[in-house]
Each structure stands twice: as C-alpha cells, then as structure tokens.
Amino acid sequence: MTKNPVGPPSTMGHPGGRFTGPVVKPKNQKQTLLRIWSYLKLQKVELISVIIIVVMSTLLSLVGPFLIGKTIDDYIVKLDVNGAVKMALVLAGIYIASSVLTWVQTFVMIRISQKTIYRIRQQLFEQYQSLPLAFFDQRKQGDLMSRMTNDIENLNAALSQSVIQIVSSFLTIVGTAFALFYLDWMLALVTLTVIPLIVWATKQIIKRSSVNYKERQRNLGALNGYIEETISNADIITLFGKEKQSIEEFREANEKLRTSAMRADTISGFMGPINNFMNNLGLSLVIGTGAIMAVTSGLSIGVIASFVTYTRQFFRPINQLSNLLNTFQSAIAGSERVFEILDESQEVADVTNAKVKNTFAGNVTFQNVDFAYEQGKPILHGIDFHAQAGETIAIVGPTGSGKTTIIQLLTRFYDATGGRILLDGEPIEHYQMSNVRDHVGVVLQDTYLFSGTVRENIRFGKLDATNEEVEEAAKVAFAHNYIKYLPEQYETVLTSGGLNLSQGQRQLIAIARAILEDPDLLILDEATSSVDTMTEVHIQKGLSNLMKGRTSFVIAHRLKTIENANQILVINEGKIVERGNHQTLMNNQGFYAALQSQLMA
Amino acid sequence: MQAVLKLTKYIRPYIVFAIIAPVMMLIEVGMDLLQPTILQHIIDDGISQGDTSYIIKMFGLMMGTSMIALIGGIGCSVYASKTAVNFATDLRQDLYETITYFSNNSKDKFTLGKLITNLTSDVEMLQRAVTMLLKIFVRGPMMFIGAVVIVFVTARELFPILLVVVPILAFAMYFFTSLSGKLFHKVQRVVDQVNTKVQENLAGIRVIKAYNRKNHQIEQFTDVNTQLMKRSMTADQIIGVLAPLTMFVVNLGIVAALWLGAIKVESETIKVGVILAFINYLMMVMQGLMSSSMVLVQLARAIPSAGRIVEVLDEKADIQSPNQPVQNSVRGEVEFQQVSFSYIKGTEPVLKNVNFHAKAGETIGIIGMTGSGKSTLVKMVSRLFDVDQGVVKIDGVPIQQYDVEQLRQSIGFAPQKATLFSKTIADNIRYGNEMASDDRLEEALLAACATEFIEKLPSGKEHLLTQGATNLSGGQKQRLAMARAFIRKPAILVLDDVTSAVDSISEKKIQQAIEKQFGQATKFIVSSKISSIRHADQILVMDDGQIVACGSHEELLKTNSMYQEIDKTQEGKGGTLHD
C-alpha cells in the first residue's frame, strides 16, 4: 500500500475520507463563484503565488516515484552503490523542496482565506446592522445566525483546504496519467480500467446514502425539536404529571431515529472499505500485469516500482475528488445564502442635504398617515393628529390595533406608505435618520439587555456618560434600589438577554437607559407592564420627571397613566376612533367611556 | 474516565456487535498488511525466476485478500454502526427519562439549556466516538503495529530506518496534536464571542436601532472579528506544518531505504522487492500513527461529554412517591405548618415559618411584592419542592405520603410563565385532560375568556401555535394556560399571577366563572393586584418569605398597614384597558 502523501493526509484511517451527508446544491453556481472571486481578487498577488507554488509542488511530487524506479533500475539492480547514493541525495533534495513548498502554499492560502472570511463576516454584520426592521420581522433569528456561522465556516473550509486540494488533485491525476503512459502505455491502460469502477461505486454509495441521510436528518431534527420544546417546558410536564406520556412520545421519535440512523450510518460506512478495496484492486492489477509483462516482454522492476507508487498517488485524488467537490458545493451554496442577505436592500438612505438638528422642540404632526407591512394589508389608515411640544399623548386600543406601529413610524423603524409625518414642521424624512433616532428615546415592550455589566447596559443610552451620570439615571428610574443589592452592584455581569434579572428589573434598566439618553421626544411602549404595582408607582414618579417638558408618547394599559395625558388617541383596527382628554372622552359616551364604565361596574 | 466506564453498560446489550466489529476490522487490516509482502514475493520470486504460473497464483492471492479485506471492512462498518446507533438511542432514552423526572432543584442546577445540549450534541458526540473506537481506533494502531512487526521479521536489514522515523513521527504528532488542542481552544473562545455578539445584535436589533448605535456595535464586532481572524490564521498555519513535516520524514525514510537498500542489495543480503515492500510498510506505519492520533483527539473530546451525561444520569430524583402511598382522593384541604424552604441550602430561606390553613372550597388570595415568596408557596402545594422544615398537609395527610402523580393529577396549576406547546390550541387545552369532551373544552375556554379571540383566528381551536406561542399576545397565552388548568376540574386550583396581562373586564368575567364552576375546589390566586384577590375568603399578605397578615379584604384594610399601603397605591388606578 504505497501512499505518497500529497497535501494534508486524509483524516480517517481509510483512504478516500468520509461521507459528509447530502450536498446542498447551489442555485446559481457561476454567479456565486464569480462573486467569491471578486473577494479573492483583492489578494491577487498571494493567490497567483499560491497557484504557482501548487503547480511546482505537484510537479515535484510527480518526480519522486519516477526517480525511485530509475534508482532501482539503473543503480540498485546494477549494484552501483555510489550512483544509488547520489540519486538518493537528489531525491532527498526534491523531497525537502516539495515539503517546504507544500507548507508555504498552505500558509499563504490560509492567509488568503482567513482575510476573505473576515471581510465577508464583517460585511454581513454591517449589513445586519443596516437592514430595515421589516427584514427581521420576516426572518428567523436562527437562520440569520447560521448564515453568519455555518455558511461562512463552510466557505472557510473550502477556501483554506479544498482549493489547493482540488487543483493539486487535478494536476496529480493528469500528471500521473502522463507519467504512466510515458513509462509503459499498456500497463497504464490496465491501471486506468479501475477508474470507472471507482467513479461508479462512489456514485452508487452517495446516491443511496443521500436518501438515507435526508431521512436521518429529518428524524434527528424532529427529535431535537421535541427535546428542546419539552425540556424548556419541563415545568408544565411536571405540574400536569405528564412524564409518562412525554417519555412515550420521545421513545417513538427516538426509535424512528434509531432505524434511519442505522441505515444511513451503515451505508455511508461502506465508503471507506470500498475505496480501500479499489486501491488494493488497482495495486493487484498493476503488480500482476506488470510482473507478467516483466517476464514476457522484459518490463523492468523499476518501472513496476514507479507504477506501484504512482497508482496510489493516482487513486487517492480520484477517491477524494468527489468529496472535495461536495465540500466545495456546500461552500458555494453557503456563500449564496450569505450573498442573498448582502443583496437585501438596506434601510432607506438619507435624502441629499438631510438636516441635522441639535435639539428638537418636539412638535409632531401626523397628516393622513397610512401604513402597511405588506401590500394590500393596511395596518394604519388616515392617522391624523398633532402633538404640541411638551405634551403627553396616550395611545390606547386593543392588541393588534396598530398602536405600536404608530410609534415605530416616529423612530423611522418603518416609513409611512401614505401621508406625511412632520417633526418640528419638517417632514421626518428630511432629517438624517440617525439624527432623529439620537433625539427620540424609546423604552420598548420587550426590553433587551446585552451581555456585559449593568453599567454598560445603562451606558448604552449615552456612550460617553460618566459613572456618576449612569448612577444618577438609575436612581431616577428607581433601578438603583435593587442594583445596590446585586452582588457586584453596577459591575454585575448580565447574561445575554439579561436573563438573570427579572422582567421588571430589566424594564427598570431600560428606563434608566432612556433617562440617560436625555431625548427630546420620549416613547414608552407599555414600559411598566411587567413591574409590580408598588414598584410601578416609584417608576411612574421617575418617568413623570422624565416626561416633563418633552413630547411623550405612551402606550399604556393602566387607566391611571392614561388619565393624565393631554391627549388620548383611541385606536381600533388601524384608525383613530376617538380622541380627546380623559374628561372629554368620558363625556362623549363612546368606546373609551364604555370601557371605563365596564371597569367600574 | 470513570464516567466512560459507567456508560459501558449501554454497550453491554450489544456486546456481540461490539466484539464482531473490531474483529472484522482486524481481518481487513490483516489482509491489507499482506499486500506488500505478496508484492515482494511477486518481484523477488516470480519475476526473477520468470515463473508465470507463480505470478498468476500470487495475483489470485492478492485479489483474494482484497476481497476478504472488503468483507472485513464492510462487516466492521455494519457492526460498528449497529453498536453505536443502538448505544446512542438507548442512552438518549434513559437520559430523557431521567431528566423528565427531575425536580426543579435539579433542573435549576443543570439549567435547561445544558440539559438540551446533553441530550443532543453530547449524545451525538459519544455516538461518533463509539463508531471511531470500533473502526479506526482498531485500524490505526493495528496497522502501525502490524507494519512494524512485519518489517522486523521480513526486512530486518532495513528496520533501523523505522527506529529513526517512528519516534520522530510519533513525537511530531504528539506535539502538534496537543498544540492544536490548545490553539483551537483559544480559537473556540473567540468563536463563542463572535457568536454571542451576532446573536445579541440580532435579538437586540430594535434597541440598537432605537438608540442609533450601529457604529458602536460595528466597532465592537470588528474587534472580535479581527481577533478571530488572527487567531484562526495562526492556529491553522501552525497546524499546517504537520502534514508537510510527516510527509518529509516519511519521504526521507524512502530515501534512506534506497540508500541502505542499495548497499544491502549489493552485498546480497536482501533482494530488490524487499525495498519496495519496505516503502509500502513505511506508508502504513505513517497512516497508522496518523489515524490513531486523530482518533485520540476525537475521543479526548468525547470524554467531557461522557462526564456531563453521567452527572445527569447520577442525579437522584429527590422527589419520589412513597412505597405505600395513601389511597384517598384529594378533597382540597391544604395546611402549611411552620414551613421553611430555601432554593440553595444554607442561604436565606425564601419561605420562613409559613402557617396557614385552607378549608376545602375556599379561595385563598396571596399578595406581596416581587420576590416575596408567593410563587414558591404555591409550588409547594404541587410538591415541586420538598420543605426544609415544617410540613405541608393535604386533607390532613402530609404531602409526602401521596403518590406524586396522583397528587398532581388533582391539582390544576396555571404557572406564572404561560408556556404552551407547538400544537393546536385544542391540543394544548386538552393537555390538562385528554379525556375531556368537546363541551368541556368549550366550557374551559369560555371560563378563561378565551373564546372570543379564538373565534377570530382563521382555523379557530385548530389554530397551530408556534414554538413559545410567539404568535399570541401575553394575555392570550395566559388565558389558554388558565383554560388548560380549568379543564381538569381539579380539587385544587392554582393561578399564579396569570391575569397580569389580561384586561380588567375579562379578568372580572374570569373571576365570576371560577366562582361558579369551581365552588368545590380550593383556589389559590397569586397576584400583585388587589382587584384580583379582593373577594378571597382569606388573603395572605407576604413579605420577605413570611406571611405578615392574613384575613379578608375588609379585615386587612383595617388592621394591616402593608395591605393598606398596597391598596392606596392601587386605589383609583382603575384596571387595565386592553391586553
């Protein structure tokens, strides 16, 4: 079993590597390849040198077996020790050179691929930051995540290894074929007969495993989904005493996986032994035929030796090539998924000469504003109101009526599809988007905290805030009260999502964040919904300090908050059905009054 | 390592397969090892004697051994897969059963996320390890040893070359394997950082946009991204030395073989075929070493997985039914006597000396600030935890004497977090009682004020919920969670702050429905709103793990200052207008 290593050795004991599951085929291979090339082009010099080096190192590796045969024929068989030693030295020199070249090519290629991957990763991240919210509404977070991780990783693997391997395998195959024919065309023909056999066998296995692998992956997916859901909801299972039932359901899914996994694993496991067999078969053919030819037509032992060495060098890349192409295809498919995101249109760009204001007075006017997330499904129609600077506007209405959408138009998370929104008398699109967002403070319904300390999370509202400012804001938000009891106070490290705090505590940090930002307009989207009523009273005090002198939009469900608003907009099915202050609305005897009286009953 | 031994019991049922697989692999390796020797004989005996029939015989032998090797290899693959898949399936089942019976204490200890990882990736990691162990871990070392032995026996003149080459190879592999472990550990840490960053930025995208922090976030990402590039590059480039290095060492072995061979052939101690065979064995030595070291790395990675799994399996189910549980069905009288409890033993208790007595059919309201121990108290009724001190009695019998399943069957519990399954609404409600008739289902939905919104859904009760029921609002989820408890018609009904997101009008309707339909049941209603518990027969006011006062709404208004304060802050607040 001669095996002259070219490139990195195969990872498994069997020649031919392993089967890695069905290949995801790219949709538009050519275009994607061109696009990958456009990144690689940035490192043209390195890339060209790699290709030159690969050619050189492959050629050198072709010389080795040839010289071995020659040494045997011309010197060893003829008992010329001095000549043999000389040849050995030449051979040693070639091997040194080829090892060094191989390392250099890997070194440079890794550099190229890592830099490329870095660029793509960076671009993708920046793209995520620049996409409109509507994009995130339609996509699953896990999917976006896997584009950043798996897909890019696939490309990395392909670039750093497969490119070199594919080129060198190809060169090796062609070069070896030449050498074989040069040495002895008849024996070469015999050797080549094995190739169709290898290709056929590989295809058969891949065909069969793909089917089984898909089934296996499906079952595994189903099982993992079941695990995730039942373990996350384990409380309910315990409370309702459903342990036996869920164990049985699990068993069913588990058994399905047992069957399909067994089939898939077994068949793909055939790849190794079969490749091994093909190699042995090739070797036997070469040796058998070669020996007979040696006896009958005087073929030299050296040529047989060269053939034996070449054969291995020849079959290995053929075994690997299909695998390599698979890796490469997954990489292209992965890149395609990444490029797909990069091609999504970003948030609308600012108009030319967009305005920038240092402070906003806070006059907000909605003129006949329409909005739809999807065409034909309007969420808001004909919204019309005016908020005087400094006023508090309460927005009430049932779930799904469009309350949140109204305030999302104010932060330009979305742009109105009809009508105009004026900020200090100027259409909101005329300002730089960043300028508007810098001056509008938002406390969202579902607070998000980043991993990092409490202090860093509050400071998110104003990046250059001093420690004192941070703590001052926390005090106003009544967050200081519990923060001082945390193990490390303001330096307590929060987990991703802030899950080690209660929902109410997270809300308080979000409020502190908004307070620190000191915005000209304030938006509170059910900001106190998850805080217990006693705490809420405290926060309300903080919030009313904050709201003083600023135009504030409040989506609240507690009537008390609403009562004090300057204006109340009652929204139903995307329209303002009633407006006025608490008193006028009560006198109107409409929707609002009806709700109130039902509560008092 | 001890963990690994413990897991061998899952191999035991398949021990026959587990023995056949390596034996078959031995056959394959054995046959492979014969090939160069046959080759040597063809050259040295066949060609040099011009013996065609000998050559054909040997050629037949080579083909024969190749076939046997194929059978061995396929056999090994079949039995190794059988062992590994069966092992993993059984282990997963056991693990799942263990986790399902975990008490809350154990779940908190391991955390749900880790338990999910145990069941998914850890088990898979072990499955892969078993396959490798049976396949390649046999092939690699055997090939190495076999090749060395054969060279020693048949080509002893060239053996010194192995004495030099093998230690160098072994050292290089050892060195690079351990180095790569360290390097990739470092890379992995940055990978984790990058992943966390991306994940957070996706989850927090609204906050980032609202605060216009795009550039700030990009800056932070650039840092970790650059670090990842640098570390990966270094790691890959250093590890990239191994392949050319081994190739070089082996090739030098070939050179030495030619050199030494030329001398030995000249002195007629060996024949040419031996050199050729030796070169082939040299390759096998390298291959054997290489695959052994790779498998070792993989196995080393599997050991922590095994450790984690064994830890879970060894966790004792601390809440268990007694051997001879009491048989009487639960009426609903609940009594706490001097109950104390802490989640982490030795720390300040969450419940301190809690005493109260609820007669069957009474409504018990529990009010207090966040963190005062309200939820913990009601969880004790379902025996989600065992008390540290004191006793919880149901119908006068200590709770530990009931069969746990029977106890929980008689309780309808709507927990604070309204978790639902990704099933239809009807299936979710029937989770509370599979036998329930359609009428009863309707009744439960009506009582929970859920009918109205369900009717608006395109497929009504057959509406399929997404995982985590993200397509429902908080109030809607709470209504469904209540309906799921109602449908049981339990002797004890526990509603743990489940109307916080429900509007006040609906809440009122729900209260009335409960009064009407569950007159017989003992009802525990936890809330931070006075309006939710005002009509309770007894109201327990909790503060810092203690019941500071107990009585009816009117009594407490007169006597308890804390209750007065709560009432004052909530007075005139009205209710909530919408979900």
Look at the block and give the residue holding tokens 């007969």: A193
Question: Which positions 540-569 of A are in contact with B (Cβ < 8 Å)?
Answer: 557-560, 562
Query: Domain of A544: which CATH number?
Result: 3.40.50.300
DSSP letter for A2, please.
-
A489 vs A474: CA distance, rounded Å: 12
Domains identified in chain A, total number = 3
Beta bridge partners of A418: A370
Locate the chain A residue with the closest alpha carbon to B573.
Answer: A560
* Identity of the residue in A88, A251, A434 whose CB atom sits nearest the CB atom of B212: A434
* Identity of the residue in A68, A133, A533 whose CB atom sits nearest the CB atom of B528: A533
Beta bridge partners of A558: B576
Q: Are residues A293 and A427 in the same domain?
A: no
> DSSP letters of B101-138?
T--HHHHHHH-HHHHHHIIIIIHHHHHHHHHHHHTHHH
Interchain contact, A262 vs B82, CB within 8 Å: yes
Inter-residue contact B340 to B366 (CB < 8 Å): no
Q: What pLDDT score does B24 carry?
A: 93
Q: What pLDDT score does B154 carry?
A: 87
Q: Is residue A124 part of a domain?
A: yes
Look at the block and give the residue holding tokens 């600077």: A389
Q: Are residues A121 and A257 in the same domain?
A: no
Full-model pTM: 0.76
- Low-confidence residues of chain B: pLDDT under 70: 1, 467-471, 570-579
Q: Is residue A216 part of a domain?
A: yes
Question: Could you tell me if B570 lies within 8 Å of chain A, comparing CB atoms?
Answer: yes
Q: Identify all chain B residues contacting A569, using CB atoms and an 8 Å cutoff.
A: none
Q: How many residue pairs from chains A and B have C-beta atoms closer than 8 A? A: 469
Q: Are residues A512 and A457 in the same domain?
A: yes
Question: Could you tell me if A500 lies within 8 Å of chain B, comparing CB atoms?
Answer: no
What are the b/e assignments for A149-177, b being 16+ CB within 10 Å? eebbbbbbbbbbbbbbbbbbbebbbebbb
Question: Which positions 14-33 of A are in contact with B (Cβ < 8 Å)?
Answer: 14
Contacts of A520 (CB under 8 A, 6+ apart): A359, A360, A361, A362, A439, A440, A550, A551
Work out the angle at residue A567's Cα, subtended by the Cα atoms of residues A562 and A573, and round it to the nearest 5 degrees. Answer: 80
Q: What pLDDT score does B235 carry?
A: 87
B448 vs B453: CA distance, rounded Å: 11
Q: Are residues A149 and A255 in the same domain?
A: no
Question: Could you tell me if B32 lies within 8 Å of chain A, comparing CB atoms?
Answer: yes
Inter-residue contact A393 to A525 (CB < 8 Å): no
Q: What pLDDT score does B167 carry?
A: 92
Tokens of B168: 């160098």
Structure ipTM: 0.81
Q: Strands A521-525 and A551-555, how do they pair? A: parallel
Q: Are residues A461 and A340 in the same domain?
A: no
B491 vs A258: CA distance, rounded Å: 42
Interchain contact, B203 vs A246, CB within 8 Å: no
Q: Is residue A89 part of a domain?
A: yes
B316 vs A465: CA distance, rounded Å: 50
Q: Are residues A432 and A511 in the same domain?
A: yes
Question: Which positions 375-404 of A are in contact with B (Cβ < 8 Å)?
Answer: 396-400
What 3-state DSSP class applies to B389?
A: strand
* Identity of the residue in A156, A239, A596 whose CB atom sits nearest the CB atom of B408: A239
Q: Are residues A422 and A549 in the same domain?
A: yes
DSSP letter for A286, please.
H
Question: Which positions 305-334 of B are in contact with A (Cβ < 8 Å)?
Answer: none
A201 to chain B, minimum CA–CA distance in Å?
A: 13
Interchain contact, A287 vs B500, CB within 8 Å: no
Q: What pLDDT score does A118 carry?
A: 92
Cα–Cα separations (whole angstroms), residue B16 to B11, B68, B216: 9, 21, 61
Q: Identify all chain A residues contacting B261, using CB atoms and an 8 Å cutoff.
A: 76, 84
Interchain contact, A92 vs B252, CB within 8 Å: yes
Q: Are residues A262 and A408 in the same domain?
A: no
Q: For chain A (length 601 residues), average pLDDT per consecutive 10?
A: 33 39 64 88 89 89 86 83 87 90 90 91 88 77 78 83 81 87 89 84 79 81 82 79 86 91 85 86 88 86 86 74 74 85 80 79 85 76 85 78 80 82 84 83 76 83 83 81 76 68 75 84 72 66 75 75 80 82 80 68 47
Q: Are residues A336 and A266 in the same domain?
A: no
Domain-ending residue, one of A345, A375, A405:
A345
Closest CA to B277 of A2, A431, A269, A76: A2
Domain ranges, residue A492: 364-600
Q: Is residue A200 part of a domain?
A: yes
Strands (E), A439-518: 440-443, 452-453, 493-494
Inter-residue contact B493 to B485 (CB < 8 Å): yes
Q: Are residues A407 and A544 in the same domain?
A: yes
Residue at A142: amino acid letter: G
Q: What pLDDT score does A6 carry?
A: 33
Inter-residue contact A337 to A151 (CB < 8 Å): yes
Which helix or strand (DSSP H or E) is residue B493 part of? strand B492-496
What 3-state DSSP class applies to A556?
A: coil
Locate the chain A residue with the closest alpha carbon to B117.
Answer: A228
Tokens of B155: 């080509």
Which helix or strand (DSSP H or E) is residue A377 part of? strand A377-387
Tokens of A127: 């793209």
Question: Which positions 372-401 of B are in contact with A (Cβ < 8 Å)?
Answer: 382, 384
Which helix or strand (DSSP H or E) is residue A138 part of? helix A133-138
Q: Strands B411-414 and A418-423, how do they pair? A: unpaired
Domain-ending residue, one of A345, A375, A404:
A345
Closest CA to B37 of B230, B228, B251, B277: B277
Inter-residue contact A449 to A457 (CB < 8 Å): yes
Q: Are residues A170 and A257 in the same domain?
A: no
Question: Could you tell me if A577 lies within 8 Å of chain B, comparing CB atoms?
Answer: no
Q: Is residue A201 part of a domain?
A: yes
Q: Is residue A321 part of a domain?
A: no
Suggest the residue from B37, B66, B496, B561 to mutate for an interface test with chain A (most A CBs closer than 10 A). B66
Interchain contact, A239 vs B136, CB within 8 Å: no
Question: Which positions 493-552 of B are in contact with A (Cβ < 8 Å)?
Answer: 500-501, 503-505, 508, 528-529
End-to-end CA distance of chain A: 92
Inter-residue contact A309 to B77 (CB < 8 Å): no
A578 to chain B, minimum CA–CA distance in Å?
A: 15
Question: Could you tell me if A150 lies within 8 Å of chain B, comparing CB atoms?
Answer: no
Q: Is residue A1 part of a domain?
A: no
Q: Are residues A167 and A189 in the same domain?
A: no
Q: Is residue A4 part of a domain?
A: no
Q: Identify all chain B residues contacting A301, using CB atoms and an 8 Å cutoff.
A: 43, 47, 272-273
